[in-house]
Chains A and B, each alone.
Chain A
Amino acid sequence: MAPTHATLAVEGLKTHFFTKAGVVKAVDGVSFEVGRGEIMGLVGESGSGKTVTGFSIIGLVDPPGRVVEGSILHNGENLVGLDGERMRNLRGNRIAMIFQDPMMTLNPVLRIETQMVEAVLAHSAVSKEDARTMARDALGQVGIASPDERLRAYPHQFSGGMRQRVAIAIALLNKPDLIIADEPTTALDVTIQGQILYEAQKLCRETGTAMIWITHDLAVVAGLADRICVMYAGRIVERGAIGDILERPAHPYTRGLIGSVPSRNTRGGRLFQIPGMTPSLLNLAPGCAFRERCPAADGACAVEPEPSHPLPGRELRCHHPQLEAAP
């Protein structure tokens, strides 16, 4: 897919944090695309840079962090270095974000109605009445019963799952073409998570909204995403279609990650275990960041691996890709 046709095309993105202790390369050369109606899963463990990638796209990286390199093309327009006015125009309008904690989106002392109407009026010249109608429709769209009444409620009167629905409704208000969802179901119960995943899936199908679903949980994106990017220490180590990657993971880290997930096949047995832990991103040594934990690592891994395409539709950063089928 040529980058200009994608809703979002990230190319060589580097976001670094300049702290007193040194430079933290939270995102270090990340490239991917998301097309219309596509759900892209961004998977990684804590500190892999998945959230900072999301924040970089929507322009919410605060000092000492800064996007130092790369481009983020949103419908062909580069978001890196965009002036504040234009970015504010896009944010919440064309690009929306859903956070893990819905209370990050919601103001606890304002009625849902006030917050939603404000979000509409900030971006379009419609009457207050029309804005209210839009708010009500958005609540209905995410499956909130009796939206008229619920508009009058305060955030604390909702349960956790309901709050997350309201946060999603607010993200939908201006019919954005890109939604960045950062672990939106992690804090929710299983049955409620199922409901939210269902709404998200329906939404992308019906409205053609592109979505980036950031999560640490491979199982969540397994049923949801079209393609995934696996992140490790600020880089995308493997990228491809979800089914292909789950069936034939080629990067040793992806393999380890899939093997670590408990499932019915592992009952009673031992789980595959990646030794060690995620490295600190502060003053990370050059070369492949996974080599300390990697079973296949050798001298070649002291050099940073370049992206390669060993399988159709797959991008990989590894000197020793494991191309035979998973054990």
Chain B
Amino acid sequence: MIEVHNLTKAFGPHTALSGVTLHVAAGEWVTLAGPNGAGKTTLLRLLATLSRPTSGDLRLFGLDPHTQGNAIRQQLGFLSHRTLLYDDLTAAQNLTFYARAYGLPDGPARIAELLEQFQLTARQHTPVATTSRGMQQRLALARALLHRPRLLLLDEPYTGLDPLAADALTQLLTELHASGCTLLLTTHTLESHALGQRAVILRKGRIIHDAPLADRTAFPALYRQRLEQKSAPPHLPPAACDLPPAAHDLPPAACSLPLAIWAIVAKDLAAEWRTREIFSAMFVFAALALLIFSFALDLRGAVARAAAPGVLWSAIAFAGTLGLSRSLAREQKTGGIEGLLLAPLDRVALYFGKALGNLLLMLALEAALLPLTTVLFDVNLLQWTLLPIFFAGTLGYAAVGTLMAAIAVNTRAREVLLPILLLPLVAPLLIAAVRATSGLLEGLAWAEIAAWWQLLVVYDLIIAAVAVLTFGFVVEE
């Protein structure tokens, strides 16, 4: 089920895992223990395909995570420190999104079954943000089990649970194990109920103990004893597991590219429809930009009409930066992006889904801004001939903006860095869009503005190709 050989994971100068070798057979229940910083979460994230090893071999279900990641993700469930849920969506919407992402043929029935099992039916239409920590934890577990995984990875699942909830979790894990599911969980709790049949102890990124649990009550003493030893033993044979192989249903069919894109767009639009926070922020910011430019440049009469395309595109660019930043920050808030990465979705689908959602938001902004600018600047922007230019300009902006926002959201500077990264990249696009819009407003023919719209098209094609090819590198840990 899990085959890890000589695995190392380094984060720059810090080595989180060093020479880890671990074999877990189908149907085993393994507990991974160790002090803070031992590398437990790092190992689990590598197994969950959220991270790539620096060196060493890793195989799950006999498959290579690097080349067969989606086949692995289809059979793997992961409960993280974070809920990987979208706060702005309800419990039912969250599960519906993940059911689409996993391509579940019986999505609605499975969701109803899990909502019932985890006692969430009564509050299935309540936004996650307004529910209790316990309910979020139950929903997170439902999400991890939604696609009936053969292997379940749980990172500190007992943290923050009261005794009754902890008992319920143990009961659930016992049932899952009895049904043939392989379990690997990390824990700080050395109480016997949290332990499986085999214990692995990590210290400073190395395995210092790996043996079946003969006596669970003696484990805390053994754990302390092993941690007090200074150096690791030279070689640890993997613990034997003679459990019979588990019987499982075949994994459901993977989600097709258009359906995966639609799942992401529908999820984003549902979150935005509920909160309307991105659109309203973008619109107010763009309106303020129009106002500020009018004051600063003293735009009146013919001067205002001549400057309108430039001012409008600047307002769209600035407001777009705000919207893109928020759109990706929403993914980061409770680990939603990790939820996306855990699903068996092509990275291309992730990119197209996010970019399309952002494009629709920006087009909605323009639908509101064009009449406003027409009124404020006394210039007729409500012309069909302008639509291709606005579409091409916005498409390029959303294409490169989604890529840059995905980078910026993972940096320390975040919102501050996004405009610094993005605006120099879109300079040629903005120049072309402004010139093309001005030309058409002046009554020029398409042939006379050919250089500008050609530049827009070339820019869109180049930047979209770069984004599609590189987005996967940006979203992976």
Chain A complexes with chain B: no
B residues adjacent to A (C-beta < 8 A): none
Question: Which A residues fall within an 8 A CB radius of B?
Answer: none
